[in-house]
Structure 1
Amino acid sequence: MAIVDIHGNPLQQRTLREPQTSQLSQLHSEFAAHPSSGLTPPRLAAILKAAEAGDIRAQCELFQDMEEKDAHLLAEIGKRRRALTTVDWEVIPPREASATEQAEADWLNEVLQDLPDFEDLLFDLLDAIGKGFSCIELDWARYGSEWLPAAFNYREASWFQLDPATRTELRLRDGSPDGQALNPFGWIVHTHKAKSGYVARGGLYRVLAWPFLFKNYAVRDLAEFLEIYGLPVRLGIYPNGATQNEKSTLLNAVVSIGHNAAGIIPEGMAIDFKEAAKGTHEPFDWMVNWAEKSMSKAILGGTLTSQADGQSSTNALGNVHNEVRHDLLKSDAKQVASSLRQYLLYPLLVLNKGGERDPRRLPRFRFDLVEPEDMSTYAEALPKLVEAGMQIPLSWAHEKLRIPLPTKGDAVLGTSAPVSPLQAATRLVALKGTSGDEVADPLGDLAEDLATDWQPVANMVEGPVQQLLASCKSIEEFRDRLPELIPQMDATKLAEQIAEGLFAATLAGRTGAV
């Protein structure tokens, strides 16, 4: 029986022996054309239109230039891409998993945890946020009886094209009009829905290309402004009858003074410095700030987390923007997890565990994006809610506070053991015997200790009685049904508490502590 991928395409044996791109040497020897050089609005529009028609090479090379030439853009997209690499993750079995499915999920966890460059894989996959897609070529190797990825090779987006028929399938550029289809089990293909649209229009850089262009214009104009208005105008004055050679000498001296702050001129000539025309850099700064704010909004969902405006912001507004950024992180995590499930978990299982696979019963890749609740709030509220009678599951509290439940043999934190009434009475006797000072209110302390230990025991008895009372319509019905509760009550602890309290009180009275 042929081995097929999750889309039903059969595995070719050479895919496991060598990467597909090893047969396309022309791609490895290509050099980028850097279309951002001399970029103009008409040329940018032409690049974007060509990508819509299926030729995405120039667009991908432009996007690469944008990251290299714009430090703000690189920093903002780097924040978003690296955020997911810091999140804990795990492979979990499907719902109501069988023992076999649980064992397969545990095996996948071990395999992926042992991969040294898995965080780099996540970072490379998120290159699709800006470009719309990211393709990672798998280099398979045999380790004992298992087929495992030996390397995750990031391939430049400019190596690919779209199929002419649907413009949705990514293919390698091999010189043919249709391109070469990607081998099943040979690639992790991640298409990212940063915005709606097919692959060529799904990346954020389609939106950011225009702010990038206008920012470049503003920076260039600012440089020219500083060159022109930052230095005074130098005028060389030569006498009537000066020869051409003397004029050239004076001109060279004027230029030299502007750059070297030193020069010589013939006698009888002069250099006059005129104040530069008045101007301001504020329009250029405004354009640069507008472009950077637009980039921050598109990439992170806000500007306060990046301080693109150079001004301080309030903590409250910053928290709002951080929440928006967390929503983006959750969206990125879900999309990456889906790609990993199809193009990594499925091949690992099929190649190593065999058998036909129902895509609906595959293990899932899950990022731990649940944020812990405020412990101080819960520490104050939970005891009051429990005292009020609410039944709160222990597992729910642990989940909310992100505190794992202890396993067998784990040491746990705890409070000091509660003081029993007998211990309280003994301490009172000791205080009376070793110190001549009177204890402030020993009887009150004893009563408080008895009340503290009495309450949990009383609740065990009172609870069923109160429930029965609430369900009865008359006092007669309650009286008749009261004997039904006797088998449900455990009076042992109640009797022990009463006996211990009486003994403690007797001991304290006889020794004179009270």
Structure 2
Amino acid sequence: MAQIVDLQGNPISSQAIGEPQTARMSTLYRRWEEHPSKGLTPQRLHAILEQAERGDLQGQHDLFRDMEEKDGHILTEMGKRRQALTGCDWDIVPPNNASKSEKADAEWLHEVVESLELEEIILNAMDAIGHGFSGQELEWQRQGKETLPVALNSRPQNWFTISQEDHKTLLLNNAGFGEKLWDFGWLVHIHKAKSGYLARGGLHRTLCWPYLFKNYSVRDLAEFLEIYGLPMRVGKYMPGASDQEKATLLRAVTMIGHAAAGIIPEGMDIDFQNAAAGSHEPFEAMMNWCEKTESKVILGQTLTAQADGKTSTNALGNIHNEVRHDILRSDARQLARTLTRQLLWPIMAVNRPGADPRRCPRLMFDVVEAEDLAQYAEALPKLVESGMQVPVNWAHEKLRIPKPMDGEAVLGKQSGEDKPPKPAKDAAARYLAVLRNRAGELVPADQAAIDALLDGLPGEQLNSAMTRALAPAITALRETADPEAAIAAMVASYPDMPDDELTDLLARAIFVADVWGRISGRT
């Protein structure tokens, strides 16, 4: 029996095929999140981040989840980034110069991956953008003659720890001990959103500071509205009032503030003073700065988020869209490599013993955006007419128009029968070809050539065309004796006059006369 190997060709153990690695680690399933965002301060945040660098990831990643749960702007922007790839087309392509069997393997892998919940797998894997990494545990099952993954279960980041030897190897945190992840048992996506050690690779490390400052501003704004947003109520009691009377007045002032109703003893007064001068703008300015910073960190730009509520120009929008597309391409390349190495190859290695890891099919995302069809439809004919040789494959790729399969119906230019008749003004251009040679140059014309052009233009034909053209007007004249009514009838019948034949004959005659005069030197 052939030995199962990894992508580097090294023999590996297949124990993960039998059961998931965490199946007997009950302590992991009883681990609850600590919600460190409660009462978060700069000092405590700094301590949480330091603990993560030393391998204790519990506090850091619990905080990261709290951030998305409590900050709607972070959740929305991260959702845009994570879900961008779920809407992209994907394919599994064979290696270069693939043999027939390698192409068949690629098609088989496509069917296997298509049977999985790939959209959910992508969404869970892209959680690594904020956390730095994401882990999904493979669950294998025997199906006929094949052993295939039937589920990929997402595991929280606080189940893992980091090796203190290299600060980049991810381990399973089993009761405080780091345990190596089983081969073919995990799909671990390490996303390089920024360089650095694994514990510091996620974008949430940068986002946690504007998140903290924004929380301070929101809290301060709430206190401002509570203290200064309502008018101050002042109760006045009579000199010599007892403590009981004072307490009664205080309760009335408080009740008026919350219930808008209250009673006081006769002789006592309650005055309403204007709220102290102040503005909410400083707090909102701080909150807007934090949200724009969050958008820049996650999406690379702020235009699609519009945290400041302003509009922008179309040119600026195109620039920001290019930034978004650059990030999408990077995300697609990184995730495609992970899925190829940790999903496609394990399936191949288990079911195709002896397969060459260097010839493994690859998963690819289609993130190429179609060009502007209207712009290319106008530019390409002009470039071709000027002599530029444009490859058909390049045009199809740019415009994202697939090539037709054999026998597939396609759109095409109208045939001659389906085209509308050309206007009479183009008659001269059609007959000019008679007087041109293959190089497109005018040649001297003899009487025979002129006679050939004039053939079909006898007086009888002109008279016949004239009669048919004027027939509606003549009929209108015969039906009325009033001159004004006759003129009106002629005007009304003008659109019905069939003058195409007459116009074409006259254009031919005038054109031939003009050309003959120029060639003969008479004009």
TM-score by length of 1: 0.82
2-structure distance, mates of 1:451, 1:42: 92
2-structure distance, mates of 1:296, 1:189: 26
Q: Is the 8 A contact 2:64 2:204 kept in 1?
A: yes
Q: Is the 8 A contact 1:77 1:299 kept in 2?
A: yes
- CA 1:451–1:225 in structure 2 vs 1: closer, same or farther (change >3 Å)? farther
**Bigger shift: residues 365-374 or 57-66:** 365-374
3-state SS of paired residue (1:2): coil
**Bigger shift: residues 179-188 or 378-387:** 378-387
3-state SS of paired residue (1:100): helix
- Once the two structures are TM-superposed, the CA of residue 507 in structure 1 deviates from its matched residue by 8.3
**Bigger shift: residues 31-40 or 19-28:** 19-28
1-structure distance, mates of 2:425, 2:214: 78
1-structure distance, mates of 2:388, 2:229: 74
What does 1:266-281 align with in structure 2 at a 5 Å threshold? Answer: 266-281=265-280
- Is 1:302 aligned with 2:298? no
- Once the two structures are TM-superposed, the CA of residue 378 in structure 1 deviates from its matched residue by 2.1
- CA 1:232–1:87 in structure 2 vs 1: closer, same or farther (change >3 Å)? same
2-structure distance, mates of 1:382, 1:71: 46
- Once the two structures are TM-superposed, the CA of residue 2 in structure 1 deviates from its matched residue by 3.3
Tell me the equivalent position of 1:70: 71
Tell me the equivalent position of 2:19: 18
Letter in 1 for 2:14: Q
Q: Structure 2: any 5+ residue segments left out of the alignment?
A: 442-448, 462-504, 509-523
Tell me the equivalent position of 1:32: 33
1:372 pairs with one of 344, 366, 370: 370
1-structure distance, mates of 2:455, 2:113: 66
Letter in 2 for 1:243: S
- Once the two structures are TM-superposed, the CA of residue 158 in structure 1 deviates from its matched residue by 1.2
Tell me the equivalent position of 2:183: 184
- Is 1:148 aligned with 2:135? no
- Once the two structures are TM-superposed, the CA of residue 384 in structure 1 deviates from its matched residue by 2.5
Tell me the equivalent position of 2:382: 384
- Once the two structures are TM-superposed, the CA of residue 170 in structure 1 deviates from its matched residue by 1.2
Letter in 1 for 2:362: R
3-state SS of paired residue (1:318): helix
State which structure, 1 or 2, has the greater radius of gyration over its C-alpha atoms.
Answer: 2
**Bigger shift: residues 57-66 or 385-394:** 385-394
- CA 1:275–1:377 in structure 2 vs 1: closer, same or farther (change >3 Å)? closer
**Bigger shift: residues 271-280 or 405-414:** 271-280
- CA 1:81–1:334 in structure 2 vs 1: closer, same or farther (change >3 Å)? same
Tell me the equivalent position of 2:492: none
Tell me the equivalent position of 2:134: 134
- Once the two structures are TM-superposed, the CA of residue 247 in structure 1 deviates from its matched residue by 2.5
What does 1:455-474 align with in structure 2 at a 5 Å threshold? Answer: none
Letter in 2 for 1:45: H
1-structure distance, mates of 2:360, 2:377: 39
- Is 1:169 aligned with 2:169? yes
Per-residue CA deviation, residues 24-56 of structure 1 (Å, 9 max, x unaligned), is 222222221100000000000001111111111
- Once the two structures are TM-superposed, the CA of residue 230 in structure 1 deviates from its matched residue by 0.9
Per-residue CA deviation, residues 61-115 of structure 1 (Å, 9 max, x unaligned), is 0000000000011101111111111111111112222222222112111222232
What does 1:426-445 align with in structure 2 at a 5 Å threshold? Answer: 444=428
1-structure distance, mates of 2:230, 2:213: 26
1-structure distance, mates of 2:260, 2:435: 92
3-state SS of paired residue (2:244): helix
2-structure distance, mates of 1:440, 1:339: 66
Q: Is the 8 A contact 2:348 2:355 kept in 1?
A: no
Q: Is the 8 A contact 2:126 2:134 kept in 1?
A: yes
2-structure distance, mates of 1:450, 1:403: 40
Letter in 2 for 1:378: Y
2-structure distance, mates of 1:12, 1:164: 26
- Once the two structures are TM-superposed, the CA of residue 190 in structure 1 deviates from its matched residue by 0.3
Tell me the equivalent position of 2:498: none
3-state SS of paired residue (1:173): strand
Q: Is the 8 A contact 1:5 1:11 kept in 2?
A: no
Q: Is the 8 A contact 2:14 2:183 kept in 1?
A: yes
1-structure distance, mates of 2:139, 2:381: 55
Per-residue CA deviation, residues 186-235 of structure 1 (Å, 9 max, x unaligned), is 11000001111111101111011100000000000000000000112222
1-structure distance, mates of 2:392, 2:216: 61
- CA 1:130–1:232 in structure 2 vs 1: closer, same or farther (change >3 Å)? same
CA RMSD between the two structures: 2.8
Tell me the equivalent position of 2:261: 262
Q: Structure 1: any 5+ residue segments left out of the alignment?
A: 429-438, 463-500
Letter in 1 for 2:137: E
**Bigger shift: residues 286-295 or 146-155:** 146-155
Tell me the equivalent position of 1:471: none
Tell me the equivalent position of 1:447: 431
- CA 1:505–1:110 in structure 2 vs 1: closer, same or farther (change >3 Å)? farther
**Bigger shift: residues 300-309 or 212-221:** 300-309
1-structure distance, mates of 2:352, 2:372: 43
Q: Is the 8 A contact 1:2 1:11 kept in 2?
A: no
Q: Is the 8 A contact 2:146 2:351 kept in 1?
A: yes
Count of residues in Structure 1 that have an aligned counterpart in Structure 2: 451
Letter in 2 for 1:126: M
TM-score by length of 2: 0.80
3-state SS of paired residue (1:138): strand
- CA 1:44–1:416 in structure 2 vs 1: closer, same or farther (change >3 Å)? same
